[in-house]
A = this chain, B = another copy of it.
Amino acid sequence: MSITYREVKADILRQITQGELAPGSAMPNEVDLAASYGCARATVNRAMRELADDGIIERRRKAGTRVRQNPIRQVRLNIPIVGQEIAELGASYRYTLVHSQAEPAPDWLRARMALDRDDRVMHLICMHYADGAPYQHEDRWINLGALPEAEDHDFTDTGPNEWLVSTVPFTDAQISFHAVAADTSLAGYLGCAEGDPLFQTERTTWLEGRTITFVQLTYRRGHRVTMQY
């Protein structure tokens, strides 16, 4: 076959990284590039589209394509399910349900989850262990108005995350990362000292505009989230 879009992409990327195409400079248009590579315009288009998607170049109709002044640096971050995360570490996974109760939503949670005054929630506290050692503390609230089945479901054996992803896959979510100090309770569960700095993830999940669940995931001391780009 003739030249592939991967080769075109690689060649353009090479020209950019080796300085033949300076940041900020304009590139030839698709028609000319196709002619110079001796391929169809669609091939060049796909190469350029992917480069634009990667944040390397910037494309605008009529204005043409140029090398970005400062390439956008972005990474893709996988949001794992804790059981899988631990399995990928090569460790054995154990789950425990610590607390499980349906109750009216406290005020702070009503604000976070955009709930009404009389909405009830399922409050679950769970622990996830890797090779027997505490790995993650899960403090989860499920909106019983949106998911009444949660009240009767038995979370003794499998975590709410597993149940949720199989019951309501394809949700929208907002995630945030931050650091917290271990309070007495977290220190007890995670086997660290009170006041220790812990990495915490918060996640709110929606389905078609309705809040499904809010969860705080607190990791054992020293946990890192790592990415490449």
Interface residues of A (CB under 8 A from B): 16-17, 23, 56, 70-79, 81, 165-166, 169-170, 172-181, 195-200, 222-229
**B172 contacts A229, CB within 8 Å?**
yes
Bound form: Cα–Cα A77–B177 in Å:
12
CB of A76 within 8 A of CB of B78, answer no
Are B74 and A78 in contact (CB-based, < 8 A)? Answer: yes
- Counted per complex, copies of this chain come to 2
| A134 vs chain B, min Cβ distance (A) | 15
Q: Which B residue's beta carbon lies closest to that of A226? A: B176
Known: A179-B179, A181-B196. 18 other contacts (CB 8 A): A16-B170, A56-B170, A70-B81, A70-B165, A70-B166, A71-B165, A74-B77, A74-B78, A75-B76, A77-B227, A173-B228, A175-B228, A176-B227, A177-B224, A178-B199, A178-B225, A179-B180, A179-B198
> Given A179-B180, A197-B180, do A228 and B76 touch, yes or no (CB 8 Å)?
no
In the bound complex, what is the Cα–Cα distance between A75 and B74 (angstroms)?
A: 10
Within the complex, which residue of B72, B78, B176, B223 is in contact with A225, where a contact is CB–CB below 8 Å?
B176
* Residue in B170, B180, B229 whose CB lies within 8 Å of A17: B170
Shortest Cβ gap from A151 to chain B (Å): 22
A24 to B181, CA, bound (A): 41
Q: List 25 A-B contacts (CB under 8 A).
A: A16-B170, A71-B169, A73-B78, A73-B79, A73-B173, A74-B77, A75-B77, A75-B79, A79-B229, A172-B229, A175-B227, A175-B229, A176-B224, A176-B225, A176-B226, A176-B227, A177-B199, A177-B225, A177-B226, A179-B179, A179-B199, A179-B200, A179-B223, A181-B196, A196-B197
Q: Determine the residue in chain B with the shortest Cβ distance to A76.
A: B74
Q: Which residues of B contact A56 (CB under 8 A)?
A: 170
Interchain nearest-CB distance for A27 vs B (Å): 15
Q: How far is the CB of A228 from chain B (nearest CB, A)?
A: 5
Query: Considering only CB atoms, which chain B residue lies closest to A222 in the complex?
Result: B178
Residues of B within 8 A of A169 (CB): 23, 70-71
User: Quick check: B165 and A179 within 8 Å, CB to CB?
Assistant: no
Rounded to whole Å, the gap between the CB of A222 and the closest CB of chain B is 7
The CB with the most chain B CB atoms within 10 A, among A16, A178, A200, A228, is that of: A178
